[in-house]
Amino acid sequence: MSTVLDETAETVVTSARPAKRPATRSAGVRKGRKPGDWVVLAVAVVLGFFIAVPFLMILINSFKSPADYNSSGPLTLPTSLYFDGIVAFWERVNFPEKFWNSVFISGLVAVFAVVLSMFNAFALGIGRVRGRLWIVVLILLANMLPQEVLLYPLYFMFKEVGLYDNQWAVIIIFTVIQSAFGTYLLASVYSTFPKEMLEAASLDGASRWQILWRVVYPISRPTLSVLLIFFFIWTWNEFLIPLTFLVSNATQTVPVAITVLQGDRLMDVTTTSASALLGLIPTLVFFLIFQRTLTRGITAGAVK
Amino acid sequence: MSIAPAPLEAAKPGGAARAALRPPSSLIPGSSRNAYWLYLVPGLALLTIIVVVPLVWNVYLTFTDYRGIRPPEWIGLDNWIELAGDSVFWTSFANSIAMIVAMVVVPTLLGLLLAAMLFDLIGKKFGARLASFLRATYYLPQILPAVIAAIVIGWILRPQNGALNQVLEAVGLGALQHNWLGSPDTALPSIMVIMVWVQLGYPIVIFMAALQRVDPELYEAAELDGANWYQRFRAITVGIIRPEIFVVTLTCTIAALKVFGPVYALTGGGPGTATIVPAYYAYSEFFQSQQVGYGATIATALTIVIAAVSVAFILVQNRYERQEEER
């Protein structure tokens, strides 16, 4: 689960470094495709096909009836479109409810974590408070630790204050964990913030609070929006802590609900496939919508 | 990407005089650094409650016998001694090494090769669109929740009516049919293959982003000098993206040591202990065996390993960078 996290992490980090790109892209060099080039292309395409195969199988088999599956196997197209598997799963887990839970939790975490990261990074990167290197190391700890090490004490603490099996427990925990990475990234971005702009604002009599919201925030918005999207996806994909904290049906997220149902041996093979389809569509759609933002944020770099 | 070092004004010899002229300051003129502590209060307070206190508490629990019902009972080092002789624990770490192979070694090497192929060859000779389409395809498994990815593959690997076994039969290789995740000899390799599938897109995307820093003229110059593809790959590609290789390796190693979701969703550590990993072992001690003290000990041991690996990585990297600078 945290693999996705790490991925995106680095993509932003890479962006913090100014991409040295030549003014003229030598795009016109599609000269001489040698036979060897076609071989390489074929290898790359075949590999892509194998990576995509599980997705194609899910797609095909989600719309098959169990009888169809049993007679023709997993590789053929469905003889007729069958929606009962999807419908059955949809109703079994009350999918809209789980979907809303995931949106609610991930959305709030994304917003809170971005704001918290910005405050931290403002103090560390622009304010340059004493001992900031050690503070960043301490904060990063939250991201490196295996979550198991926090699990039981947190479980106990939230039980004591009556927030166990409550989505706010998960929201608070992930706000802290995600903002750890955000702080790390933004602090390094802010430490190279154009000084002239800060000086100008300060000469105009702006307070620190005003400088934060009127200068620092607007200029770093591309980076902040990339962080927002990452935090949303990462939180959506989280598993261990939601599994432990959200025990009742009404509070569960999509991945937890789907996984918990896997233990249910009554589920036939096409319903399993349908459940996987419903589990992957939201992130896929989200990714496709925001892919542009991500790429732009990454290539635009942080602060120029 | 590291935090720029603090201006070491006063610490440097002869710096005192200059420090007097230019007192330690923030980037905003006329505001003292101390004024910014206010902005750290919410972050540090939350960090203390959610991370620091539980971490210390967890370490305390490792010295106790605690079943989650009666209050923890101090037993000194007993948990740690038990851990040192616990063959399941050592099996879980051996499996961690398998996870490192599957999540770090293979994806990084393969990713390096594929990123170079996409960027240097396919992108230039067949168009950037095709290259980015392929990149997106490789990346697909990364965007879905790991547990969903595990379910997808687990479904394909089912012993009865699973897709893989049916394909084998269809192409006349029925003799190779197997209970892939259910038998001890193939369970771990199966999970490893799945993790390679999940992880591969990550290094590719990052390495390709990094390759944008490469000046195409470098390649052209090398080509004119008669360097073949492999020589260019080693000298230019690997040379330029070394920082990214380092970060990918470190973050993936941490992720491999922490892996939990796929094991939980696919095998529950079984059959027997064939696929158990430290994170899953700790979890099962917490919530299945109710051995909270012992679970805390496993989790703490895992934390120590992760911290040691991270520190070692960073030290090696620093040393390497210094050597590079001296050259």
Could you please report the per-residue DSSP string of B239-263?
HHTHHHHHHHHHHHHHHHHH--HHH
pLDDT at A7: 39
Band (B2; pLDDT cuts 50, 70, 90): very low
E strand map for chain A:
none
Note the pLDDT tens digit of each residue in B97-155.
999 999 999 999 999 999 988 888 888 888 888 888 898 889 888 888 888 888 888 87
pLDDT at residue B215 tops 50: yes
User: Does residue A36 contact residue B231 with C-beta atoms inside 8 Å?
Assistant: no
Residues 6+ apart with CB under 8 A from A193: A125, A126, A216, A219, A220, A303, B27
φ, ψ for residue A19, nearest 5 deg: -75, 125
| A31, A150, A185: residue with CB nearest B58 | A150
Comparing A71-75, B14-18, B39-43, B76-80, the range with the smallest average pLDDT is: B14-18
Q: Out of A160-169, B158-167, B195-204, which region has the weakest mean confidence (pLDDT)?
A: B158-167
Question: Quick check: helix, strand or coil at residue B173?
Answer: coil
CA distance B236 to A240: 41
Q: Is B324 helix (H, G, I), strand (E, B) or coil?
A: helix
Candidates B38, B62, B147: best to mutate against A (most CBs of A within 10 A) is B147
A59-A61-A67 Cα angle (round to 5):
160
- Distance between CA atoms of B212 and B311, rounded to whole angstroms? 29
Torsion angle, CA of A16/A110/B311/B102, rounded to 10 degrees? -100
Q: What tokens appear for B83 in the block?
A: 């851990």
Phi-psi region of A194 (alpha: psi -120 to 50; beta: other; left: phi over 0): beta
Chain B from 170 to 199: CB within 8 A of any A CB: 170, 197-199
Residue with the bigger pLDDT between A111 and B229: it is A111
Q: Do A198 and B27 touch (CB under 8 A)?
A: yes
**What pLDDT shows up at residue A265?**
58
Question: Going by CATH, does the domain composed of A83-300 fall within 1.10.3720.10?
Answer: yes
A186 alpha carbon, distance to own chain's centre: 17
Q: What would the two tokens of residue B221 be?
A: 């110059």
- The pLDDT value recorded for residue B310 is 87
Q: Domain B90-326 adopts which CATH fold?
A: MetI-like fold (1.10.3720)
Q: Which two tokens stand for residue A130?
A: 């004493």
- Contact list, A208 vs chain B (CB under 8 Å): 28, 31, 35-36
Q: Name the residue of chain B whose CA is nearest to A1's CA.
A: B146
Inform me whether the pLDDT recorded for B63 exceeds 70: yes
Q: Do A54 and B153 touch (CB under 8 A)?
A: yes
Q: How far apart are CA A222 and CA B87, in angstroms?
A: 50
Q: Do B6 and A128 touch (CB under 8 A)?
A: yes
Continuous segment of H or E residues that includes residue B26 = none
What does residue B65 show for φ and ψ, rounded to 5 degrees? -100, 115
Residues contacting residue B16 through CB under 8 Å, at least 6 positions apart: B9, B10
Put simply, whether A93 touches B (Cβ < 8 Å) is no
State how far the Cα of B44 lies from the Cα of A131, in Å rounded to an integer: 14
Contact call for residues A174 and A117 (beta carbons, < 8 A): no
> Which residue from B minimizes the CA distance to A13?
B1
Q: Which residue has the higher pLDDT, B276 or A78?
A: B276
The mean of the pLDDT values for chain B is 84
Q: Is B251 on the interface with A (CB under 8 A)?
A: yes
Q: Is B77 on the interface with A (CB under 8 A)?
A: no
Residue A125 touches chain B, beta carbons under 8 Å:
yes
| Domain range list for chain B | 36-81, 90-326
pLDDT recorded at residue B266? 87
Q: Are A82 and A63 in contact (CB under 8 A)?
A: yes
Which residues have CB under 8 Å from B105's CB, separation 6+?
none
Q: What is the spatial distance between Cα B136 and Cα B117, in angstroms, rounded to a whole number? A: 15
Contacts of A226 in chain B (CB under 8 A): none
Alpha helices in B4-52 (DSSP H): 15-21, 37-47
Nearest neighbour of A123 by CB, restricted to B36, B49, B258: B36
Mean pLDDT along residues B152-173: 81
**B5 pLDDT higher than 60:** no
Percent of chain B with pLDDT over 90: 38
Residues in chain B: 327
- Cβ pair A142:B51 closer than 8 A: yes
Query: Per the CB < 8 Å rule, is B36 touching A70?
Result: no
The size of chain A, in residues, is: 304
How do the domains of chain A map onto residue ranges?
A: 83-300
User: What pLDDT, on a 0 to 100 scale, did the predictor assign at position A18?
Assistant: 44
**Buried-state track A229-262, b at ≥16 Cβ within 10 A, e below 16:** bbbbbbbbbbbbbbbbbbeeeebbbbbbbbbebb
Distance from CA of A212 to the nearest CA of B (A): 11
Determine the pLDDT at residue A294.
66
What's the pLDDT tens digit per position in B283-318?
999 888 889 999 999 999 999 999 999 888 888 887
Amino acid at B141: P
What are the per-10-residue average pLDDT scores of chain A (304 residues)? 39 44 46 81 92 87 82 77 83 90 96 97 91 85 88 91 93 95 87 87 90 92 86 90 91 88 68 84 83 60 34
CA nearest neighbour of B164 among A56, B155, B172: B155
Mutate to test the interface with B, among A41, A119, A149, A232 (most CBs of B within 10 A): A149
Question: Which residues of A fall within a CB distance of 8 Å from B2?
Answer: 188
Backbone angles phi and psi of A248, in degrees to 5: -90, 150
CB atoms A237 and B58 under 8 Å: no
